[in-house]
Structure 1
């Protein structure tokens, strides 16, 4: 008989929810502050010699470079997260991300230090990428593995909320500096640095909260029975490489669409091409992030009732039908129309993001779950969001219209919709290490194999 997971009490589940929410919000705040500054300031502050247009492309490319290092961060965090625990990796990634972000706020510009300034900037962005690659997997497993099976979607919503709430904080801070504290030239000269320096306060808060939570009950079982995989990443790709690829493609559309706003492209385009006020645009994006957060939470809850796959499919359809109207409304030059476009666009983002934590956690076996969810997420980030702002800026420069950007996003949405439809809905599956035989088979609809009675014994012998 398969033992159920020893779930923690409600009070500890609430602490875990708060820890994953605060931690991921801080991490994404750090990440988005860089992306926004890249679109608004960095082309002149760090890449001035190459000119405005090329400097903007390089600035957006520096946003994407971090994504190339996310898989390495995911490999490292996945390996140690599956071997020494989820909580330790959560604390480490938070400190690395916050330290790198704070350091960006202290950097001299190209005018002050020459070529060394953009080089150090890129190095710090790489550290952010390494940290982000390991952050998400640890946060979602802490949340989902602590939760009862009928509340995993709701529990997994809290680390997911970190992205839109991080965007709210980042946009609000940038708007505050741009419109109130350091308007005009002062924002370009020094105002953009304050949001980066503020990260130091946030990481102290996140560190205290994350240190206070218990380790995941699933990992406690794994450690108790000494069933850690010796090389989890190797085992993951040897047995589940196709699953990793499909899981990565599921995330591609949401990530690319989300990085239109969070990666700085919409802010830059709205200000430079459409002529909207910078502070008004930042306020609008802040509003859009609030809608995104609400949609993320509601769709995560819905996935507990209606299933992860159905909710995901509806979310992709909503995203597909809002891609073109977003840019049509933005191009009217009316800030009120931009708000309308962001409202519907954010609903699609939430529909393709809320259930992700629970979906990924239920796809992979317990002993390699951290590696599976982290690497799938990191690879999906590369396919979708890594260079999405740079690609969008290039498409606009070459075609003179945002229609090409909309078709680009629509194509990725179609790919993600097909990918999620290939996954079997396993809502409520026992996540315990004792049920690893069932977890290892049947995550894809194309896998029709029954679970032999000998699979469990074979798995045990393989570990011994």
Structure 2
């Protein structure tokens, strides 16, 4: 274990401490995404029938995806609330609150009676719970990335910033794997109690996440901000008034990693089962395989960010996603098992490249005293748009008469937006934080 020397007045961190913080951020983020992704899968397979039941299957699916989108619409509220608190009272305290919120809310979803039991109260409560999920996730990711980066030696920030990102595919693996397991139950058992088990599992997982988070130290840079009284009095307002170009560019670079992911998972699961008539286990298996590959891509992407810079890596991954969009959907449209798995995995791997470096890129856009707010707001502005991607893709599918051409063009458009913002990002990077403190340096 080697200790990194620090400049005068800066906090000293060790590699072991940086790894512990990054691992704690990863575990908490994995739980957050497990809970959040459960809803997306359930919206495709369960909620459309048990909570938004109508005589028209398409209308039920659209209603379920609309409730799915509510979680994303609520994420900026979480970014505002926890961004302000994170830049004022500390990163660690906020992360303990967010992980507790989403663990409790997800458990309550697993206990919620269906429409047949309590009528219209069921979809209303389900949508409310989804909103609370969104608020919690809106404050989670920005804080996790900020905490990991501020504990990391500058020359290794790419790999540590990628650790919270790995929580996303791990959350996907856990949620898809849980649903794949219960999907083997008879239909009546699955509908009555089987689908609830993955949601109820969130409660014991919450205990593990809380134990790890409580062991993590507060950011040394934030403690320095406290010592020097260099905190922003109103960080969210300052982000909107003085750092809005970074905010827009940051949101654009984050769009593909979130919006593209939900198009190729949540939408494709619905499209594959409803329009193409494929078995749900095949789509869930494709998602699982893609998640495993994504973990490898995220690890490699973090290292590439350290070598080539996060902006260049973002552009490369976004352009690659645009190029493979149509071939990937042709493979999915074939309905052949192996081809479907390859198609989903191919797109997921490429759109994961910008996602891998998103934490490193966004934290470079904002100074320390605005970082939690700026990173959280950027990611969640992208998240709002992303939440409506499955809904938009389903509407485009209907408009195109069941053809995948228009949803594929949507993926291409999202990829090009991220590529353009990746090209613009470096002009907003600052060589040092414009506050009275000095960050930990190698």
Shared fold, TM over 0.5: yes
> Compared with structure 1, are the counterparts of its residues 432 and 294 closer, same or farther at alpha carbon in structure 2 (3 Å cutoff)?
farther
Quick check: 1:7–1:147 contact (8 Å CA) kept in 2? no
State the match for 1:238 in structure 2: 241
Q: 1:178 aligns with which of 180, 183, 186?
A: 183
> Compared with structure 1, are the counterparts of its residues 184 and 350 closer, same or farther at alpha carbon in structure 2 (3 Å cutoff)?
same
Q: 2:304 aligns with which of 293, 302, 305?
A: 302
Q: 1:198 aligns with which of 197, 201, 205?
A: 201
State the match for 1:325 in structure 2: 327
Quick check: 1:292–1:349 contact (8 Å CA) kept in 2? no
Quick check: 1:294–1:350 contact (8 Å CA) kept in 2? no
State yes or no: 1:134 paired with 2:135: no
State the match for 2:377 in structure 1: 375
State the match for 2:293 in structure 1: 291
State yes or no: 1:208 paired with 2:211: yes
State the match for 2:128 in structure 1: 123
State the match for 2:13 in structure 1: 8
Quick check: 2:25–2:213 contact (8 Å CA) kept in 1? yes
User: In 1, Cα distance between the equivalents of 2:220 and 2:114?
Assistant: 47
Q: 1:148 aligns with which of 153, 157, 166?
A: 153
Quick check: 2:364–2:429 contact (8 Å CA) kept in 1? yes
In the TM superposition, what is the alpha-carbon distance from 1:230 to its structure 2 partner? 1.1
TM-score by length of 1: 0.90
Secondary structure, aligned partner of 2:183:
helix
User: In 2, Cα distance between the equivalents of 1:214 and 1:432?
Assistant: 24
Aligned pairs for 1:44-443 within 5 A: 44-49=49-54, 51-179=56-184, 182-262=185-265, 264-383=266-385, 385-399=386-400, 400-424=402-426, 429-430=431-432, 433-434=435-436
In the TM superposition, what is the alpha-carbon distance from 1:267 to its structure 2 partner? 1.1
> Compared with structure 1, are the counterparts of its residues 58 and 175 closer, same or farther at alpha carbon in structure 2 (3 Å cutoff)?
same
Quick check: 1:365–1:436 contact (8 Å CA) kept in 2? no
Quick check: 1:67–1:378 contact (8 Å CA) kept in 2? yes
Quick check: 1:276–1:335 contact (8 Å CA) kept in 2? no
Secondary structure, aligned partner of 1:214:
coil
Quick check: 1:133–1:378 contact (8 Å CA) kept in 2? yes
In the TM superposition, what is the alpha-carbon distance from 1:2 to its structure 2 partner? 7.5
Secondary structure, aligned partner of 2:229:
coil
> Compared with structure 1, are the counterparts of its residues 50 and 398 closer, same or farther at alpha carbon in structure 2 (3 Å cutoff)?
same
Give CA-to-partner distance per residue, 1:347-393, whole Å, 9 cap, x none.
Answer: 2122111111111111101111111000111101112x111111111
- After the TM superposition, which of the residue ranges 234-243 and 95-104 deviates more from structure 2? 234-243
User: In 1, Cα distance between the equivalents of 2:298 and 2:186?
Assistant: 33
Structure 2 residue runs without a partner (length 5+)? 1-5
Secondary structure, aligned partner of 1:127:
helix
Quick check: 1:311–1:355 contact (8 Å CA) kept in 2? yes
In the TM superposition, what is the alpha-carbon distance from 1:51 to its structure 2 partner? 2.8
State the match for 2:3 in structure 1: none
